[in-house]
Every structure is written in structure tokens, then in C-alpha cells.
């Protein structure tokens, strides 16, 4: 991935300005910024610092997503993550169970109800959680379930036939390096697209998980 020249200077300035922050979100934002700049050592340093912060006073999907971000850091740094991964899975499952009875009859029309948004977040979290646990079958199933909750016209066009993470999981299941490579390239292109249209500001944390999935997928590809 490439940082456009007009973003590189403000990114470096922002990273310098927030280097001493003790906010876990800012730390992960710094990790993302350094990662996109290719400085893996600095990236890992800020991930480590964010993992040392206390668990925040959140609840529901907010807490699940926060702990989910932390599990991705634990997996990348090869720290013990099994207990937290299992806890996060249970939290997403509970939130999904809560949302399912109130899903709209027609998701093509009622696209933004709170239960539907909650179900989508939970399915996405379960898909990524399965990936982090290397449960490839489960990852593919959750990807299919999650896509069924989103009308095609709302999906990023390349993802309509499968998410990048889904192709990686299928490749791991079938020992197919080409499928894994396809997933890695799709995720890279997605992140590059987000950077170039301005949705992913590299010094912010919003797409940290997407970046981490890319990094972990690339490691799987290199190990093939």
C-alpha cells in the first residue's frame, strides 16, 4: 500500500504529535499509521502499549469490538490470545442472538435499523474472530451469513462474490496458495481504495482490524 504524497507529511506530523498519548484508540491509530508507512517495529511497539491499557468501561458490541481489536494485536505479537478470543466470540454471539428476532423482513428497503446494524457487526466480528482462531470452515460460514444481511448495492463491488478474508480461509482449507494470494491482494486493494478516497485516515484507528487482517493474511501467504 502507498500513502499518497499529500497525506505523508500530515501523517508524520500527526504521529509525532500523538506519540506520547495514553489513549488506547490513539495508540492503535499510531500503530496503523506506522504500519502503513512500513515501520513494523514502531507498529508493534504501539500495539504493545495499547494492550497494556486497562479494559475500557464499555458494553455490548462496543466492548466486543474493542476486545476484538485487542485480540488481533495479541495474535500478531504471538501472545496468549485463546481466552480473550473465546470471550469475544461469546460476546458477538450474544449480541447476534439479541438482534436476530427484530431483523426487518426486507433488508433491501430497511437497510439501517438498529437490530440489522447490530447483526451485521456481530457477523463481521464472528467472521474475523474465526479467522484469528484459524477456524477456516467457521470463517467461511460466517462470511456467507454476514453477506446475506447486506444488499448487493451496499457492498464494495469486489466483495460481492466473496470477502478477502473468505478467500484466504478457503485457500487455507484447500491448501490453495492462489486463493490465499487473491484474498491478500483484495484486502490490499480495499485498504488502498479507502486511503485514496479519504475514508481511511492512516493516523486514525477505524480500520485497524482491516489492516491487521491484511498483515496476518500476508503472513499466512508467506508461510505457504
> At residue 150, does pLDDT exceed 90?
no
- DSSP letters for 13-45: HHHHHTTT---HHHHHHHHHHHHHTT-HHHHHH
* pLDDT score of 153: 80
| pLDDT-above-70 percentage for the chain | 96
DSSP letter for each residue of 7-19: HHHHHHHHHHHTT
Prediction pTM value = 0.92
Region of poorest pLDDT, from 4-13, 26-35, 52-61: 4-13
In this structure, the dihedral spanned by the alpha carbons of residues 83, 87, 93 and 94, taken in order and rounded to 10 degrees, is 160
For range 108-133, the mean pLDDT: 89
- In angstroms, the CA 111 to CA 73 distance is 32
> Would you place residue 29 in the very low, low, confident or very high pLDDT band (cuts 50, 70, 90)?
very high
Q: How confident is the model at residue 127 (pLDDT cuts 50, 70, 90)?
A: very high
Q: Are 104 and 117 in contact (CB under 8 A)?
A: no
Answer for the pair 125, 106: CB distance below 8 angstroms, yes or no: no
Locus of grid cell 428476532: 101
CB 215, CB 76: distance < 8 Å? yes
User: What is the model's pLDDT at position 195?
Assistant: 85
- The reported pLDDT for the residue numbered 200 is 67
Contacts of 192 (CB under 8 A, 6+ apart): 1, 2
Q: How confident is the model at residue 159, as a pLDDT?
A: 82
**For residue 206, what is its C-alpha cell?**
477505524
pLDDT beyond 80 at 1: no
Give the mean model confidence (pLDDT) for residues 180-193. Answer: 93
CA 185 to chain CA mean position, Å: 15
Over the stretch 65-89, which tens digit does the pLDDT of each residue have? 999 999 999 999 999 999 999 999 9
C-alpha cell read off for 39: 515501520
pLDDT at site 202: 65
Amino acid at each position: 500500500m502507498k500513502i499518497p504524497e499529500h497525506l505523508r507529511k500530515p501523517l508524520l506530523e500527526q504521529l509525532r504529535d500523538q506519540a506520547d498519548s495514553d489513549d488506547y484508540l490513539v495508540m492503535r491509530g499510531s500503530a496503523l499509521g506506522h504500519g502503513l508507512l512500513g515501520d513494523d517495529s514502531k507498529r508493534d511497539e504501539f500495539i504493545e502499549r495499547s494492550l497494556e491499557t486497562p479494559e475500557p468501561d464499555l458494553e455490548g458490541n462496543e466492548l466486543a469490538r474493542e476486545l476484538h481489536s485487542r485480540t488481533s494485536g495479541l495474535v500478531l505479537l504471538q501472545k496468549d490470545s485463546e481466552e480473550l478470543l473465546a470471550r469475544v466470540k461469546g460476546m458477538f454471539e450474544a449480541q447476534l442472538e439479541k438482534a436476530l428476532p427484530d431483523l426487518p423482513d426486507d433488508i433491501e428497503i430497511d437497510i439501517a435499523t438498529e437490530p440489522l446494524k447490530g447483526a451485521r457487526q456481530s457477523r463481521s466480528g464472528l467472521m474475523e474472530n474465526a479467522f484469528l482462531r484459524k477456524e477456516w470452515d467457521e470463517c467461511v460460514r460466517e462470511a456467507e451469513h454476514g453477506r446475506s444481511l447486506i444488499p448487493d448495492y451496499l457492498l464494495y463491488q469486489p466483495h460481492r462474490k466473496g470477502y478477502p478474508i473468505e478467500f484466504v480461509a478457503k485457500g487455507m482449507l484447500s491448501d490453495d496458495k492462489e486463493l490465499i494470494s487473491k484474498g491478500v491482494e483484495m484486502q490490499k486493494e480495499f485498504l488502498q481504495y479507502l486511503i485514496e478516497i479519504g475514508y481511511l485516515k492512516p493516523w486514525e484507528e477505524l480500520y485497524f482490524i482491516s489492516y491487521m487482517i491484511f498483515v496476518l493474511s500476508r503472513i499466512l501467504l508467506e508461510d505457504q
